Each structure stands twice: as structure tokens, then as C-alpha cells.
Amino acid sequence: MKELQTDVVVIGAGTAGLSAYRNAKQFTNNVLMIESGPYGTTCARVGCMPSKLLIAAAEAAHSITMAPAFGVHSSAPRINGKEVMARVKSERDRFAGFVVEAVDELPSDDKIRGYAKFLDANRIQIDDHTIITAKRFVIATGSRPSYPGVFNNFGDKLIINDDVFDWDDLPESVAVFGPGVIGLEIGQALHRLGVKVKLFGVGGAIGPLTDPVVKDYANTVFAEEFFVDTDSNVSNMMQVDNKAQLTYTDKQGAKHTEQFDYVLAATGRVPNTDKLGLENTGIELDERGVPIANAKTMQCGDSNIFIAGDASNMLPLLHEASDQGLIAGQNAGRFPDVQPGLRRAKIAAVFSDPQIAMVGESYKEITTRLGSCDCFEIGEVSFENQGRSRVMLKNKGHMRVYAEQGTGLFLGAEFISPQAEHLAHLLAWAVQNKMTVPQMLEMPYYHPVIEEGLRTALRDLNAKLKFGPDIINHCMECGPGA
């Protein structure tokens, strides 16, 4: 067994780990980074980037399908699955290649390959070849898909997101379990690329939404396009004749037994903290075995251990992994001088069509915090008659915006709409700048743009806060269809 000593060990070379490594290095040269899997990060290899590449192909196909509604006719799209997957993989490899190149440039003595496990609060063992004694640690081990054990009945027909991006061709049929972010994005993209998709969920949940009005709208709009049952009843899961077979009960109560080429488990992810030997460190863990950390410093209790990225189970998103890695890395580097870092306004976007976005406090968080005190108001807008959205034939969506009574402080929003990714940024900037609804209405709005829909929602909110007049339907000074 090789023995090493260092100041800081970063476990995991994903987005959070790389950020932590770089930032810890600002304070000490003695930083080691441990990685058990391939370099390249989850985001670039099997996450954000390949999923958006698949969605881009689906959007191309969908725009051809929609063209006749504009009077533009061509033959129906012919989808070549091999070419679709070839582009997804070659572009994905390009993105992941940049990360691998960056890792290659790091000093080779700083990088150790193998699976790290804590022996105690100052020692980790890597596989069966190295023991490292370190003063501080950053856990940046990411997350992995989690699904009920019964799914294993599908045998090798059960897949996770990673497997989709290994395909050389598109399959004929996929049953997707979990209409959360991954299931919705990949499920709708596959459907638009001509794959027979059935998307099954539980309890009516859809995407990350918590606002019942927006959730209901999203449920309806996706179910109009393809088979989505967010409150499904599925049984008899098994593999038969080299196919995944299951029985589901439809909304009319009829039972259907169907076979699929694959079942995609998109039923959520769990932090990779359960096999790290954390019980040997003395740090406090929550009921899921995830270290309890300070969200401003990423420090676990007052220990020498920090955590970042999906492993922290705070907000499993790329920009959060990067920010948390920065904070954890700097604090591990300069420990015991631990300082709070910048935590930005919350923002999340789902790249479905229509897109879904959440900004600031969610409906669930606001109602939990403020209960039924009537101290917040909700403004809303439908995008069905919104001018720019109708022009583009993208007029599907509903937005709800929340603000505090009395102060008019903008708190957050949940919505499904065209170009939600962009609206979400405007709103997140407003949350971070602690803007009030009247201040947001003082900002410029061009015409005709989707942002005019946001303005309508804010005007509605402003009126409900008693800061402005009631909203007028078809208001003339707003511009036609605004």
C-alpha cells in the first residue's frame, strides 16, 4: 500500500471536483484529486450536453411537422436514427474532449485513479493501492440514477440516461418511468424523433413544478402531444421474448399489456455519499446518509470536510456544482479560515417544449414559509393568446409569479412557456437584485416579444398587490397581442 500526505484531497473530478481542485490550489500547492470513473464530467458525457443535442434533433424534426400550419409544405420528416445518434455522440465527444484535455494538463502527480473511501476524518484509502493522509477533504462525488428494485425484472432492457447516449441507432419503442426533468426531456425528444414513447409517473408530479395551476397545465399540454400519465398504475413488469413487457391501466380503467424495446428509468437520482465510509468520519449525516453542510460555506459541521455538487443534495444542477465547488475548494484551501461564498438566486430550466422554469422561491417553499397568512400574492398569464407566442405558433404556456404583500418584493415564479430559459434569467436577475414588482415594471419591454407576456403577469401581480390598476384585456398602449 502506497502512503501519501497532502493538505487537501478532492474526491471526484466532475464539475464540482474540478472547480474545487482549481480553487483549493489558490491557497496551497498540495492538492490531490481522486477519480474512479472516466474523466469528462457527467454534464458533458451523459448529462446536460448529450440530452440537449438529442433535443436539438427532435426540435428540427418537430419544426418540419409544424410547417404546414404556416402554409409551408414539404414531405414528412424522414429521421435517420443512426445519423441522429452519430451527431449526438460526436458533438458530445467534442464537449467531453475539452474537459479531458483540461484534466490532462493538470500535474500528473495531483491526479490519482481509483475509488476513495474514508478510513477516518483524516485518511482515505484508494482502491487497495494507496492511503492518503490529508488535512482537509472536498467530497464531490456526484449522483447516480435510483429506481425501485422491481425495475430489475426488465433485465438488460432496463436502461438509464447514460445508456441512451451510447445508442448507435434509435429504437422503435421506449417506456419512460419518471416524468421529472430527465424523463420529460428525453421522453419528448424520443417521441419527436419517431420513437413510440409512453411516459409513466406517480402522484401527478411533472418536471420540477410545485404550483398546482402550472402543474395541471403542463400535464394537459404534454398529454395532448404524446402518452404521458403522471399518475399511472403499472404492473407485471418483466422481460419477455427479449422485450420489456408491462401492463398499465389507462384513464378509463382499461388494462393494456405492451412490449417495448427498452424501459428508461428516470425516477430520480441519489447522491454518491452512501459508499464513502462517512460513518468513519464523525460528521453528521441526514436520513439519506448525506452530510449536513452549511449552504454558504459548504462545510460539514465544523469539520475539515467540505462537500460540493450533486453529492451535497442541495440543487443538482451544473452551475450549482461549479459554484459549490468554488466555495468548498477555497474554504478547504484556506481552512481554518472558512468564509461564506456567493450563492446566486435559484434558477432551473427544463428543455422540453414548451420549456418549464422555476425561479427564486417555489410555490411550495413560499406556502410552507408563509402558510395561509395572505401575505403574498400571485400574478399570472396564459401564453395561449400572447402575441409573439401566437405569431410563432408557440402559444402554449402558463406563468405564475409571486410577490410579498406590503413591500412588493418579487419572490419567485413557476412557469411553462415558450423560451422559458430566457424569461427565467430575467426573473432570476430580479430575485438576486431584490427587485420589487413596480421596479420590474419600470424596465423596458420591446414589442412584439415573449417578455410582454411576463409583463402582463407582473401587471396582474402589481394590481393584486394594490400597487396598480386592474389589468385591462387587450390594452391598447401595450401593443397588439402583447
Name residues whose C-beta falls within 8 Å of residue 472's C-beta, 6 or more positions apart in sequence: none
Residue 296 among known ligand-binding residues: no
Cβ at position 47, least distance to ligand NAD in Å: 7
Q: What is the x/- site pattern for ligand NAD, positions 314-343, by CB under 6 A?
A: --xx--------------------------
272 binds, among ligand NAD, ligand FAD, none (CB under 5 to 8 A by kind): ligand FAD
CB atoms inside a 10 Å sphere around CB 358: 27
Residue type, 10: V
Query: SS3 breakdown of the chain: % helix, strand, coil, rounded to 5?
Result: 35, 25, 40
Residue 109 among known ligand-binding residues: no
Dmax (CA) for the chain in angstroms is 78
Name residues whose C-beta falls within 8 Å of residue 280's C-beta, 6 or more positions apart in sequence: 118, 119, 120, 121
Cβ at position 220, least distance to ligand FAD in Å: 24
Closest CA to 350 of 454, 218, 449: 218
CB closer to ligand NAD out of 227 and 376:
227
Alpha carbon of 128 to those of 115, 117, 123, 132, 133: distances in Å?
9, 10, 14, 12, 15
* 447 noted as active-site residue: yes
Residue 7 among known ligand-binding residues: no
Footprint of ligand FAD (CB under 6 A): 11-17, 34-37, 41-43, 47-48, 51, 115-116, 140-142, 161, 182, 272, 276, 309-311, 316-319, 321
Give the Cα separation of 179 and 20 in Å (integer).
Answer: 32
CB atoms inside a 10 Å sphere around CB 307: 31
Cβ at position 42, least distance to ligand FAD in Å: 3
Residue 185 among known ligand-binding residues: yes
CB closer to ligand NAD out of 151 and 167:
151
Q: Scanning residues 161 to 190, which ones bind ligand NAD (CB under 6 A)? A: 177-183, 185
Residue of 129, 191, 447, 474 marked catalytic? 447
- Residue 269 touches ligand NAD, criterion: CB under 6 A: yes
Sign of CA dihedral 402, 403, 404, 409: positive
Which string of DSSP letters, residue by residue, matches 100-113?
Answer: HHHHHTS-GGGEEE
Q: Which residue is nearest to ligand FAD (CB)?
A: 14
| C-alpha cell read off for 22 | 482549481
- Three-state DSSP class for 342? coil
Cβ at position 57, least distance to ligand FAD in Å: 15
Cα Rg, the chain, nearest whole Å: 24
246 binds, among ligand FAD, ligand NAD, none (CB under 5 to 8 A by kind): none
Stretch that binds ligand NAD, among 164-172, 196-204, 282-290, 435-443 (CB under 6 A): 196-204
Cβ at position 71, least distance to ligand FAD in Å: 34
Tell me the binding residues.
Answer: 52, 141-143, 178-185, 268, 310
What is the binding site for ligand NAD (CB under 6 A)? 148, 177-183, 185, 200-203, 205, 208, 266-269, 316-317, 348-351
As annotated, the active-site residues are 447
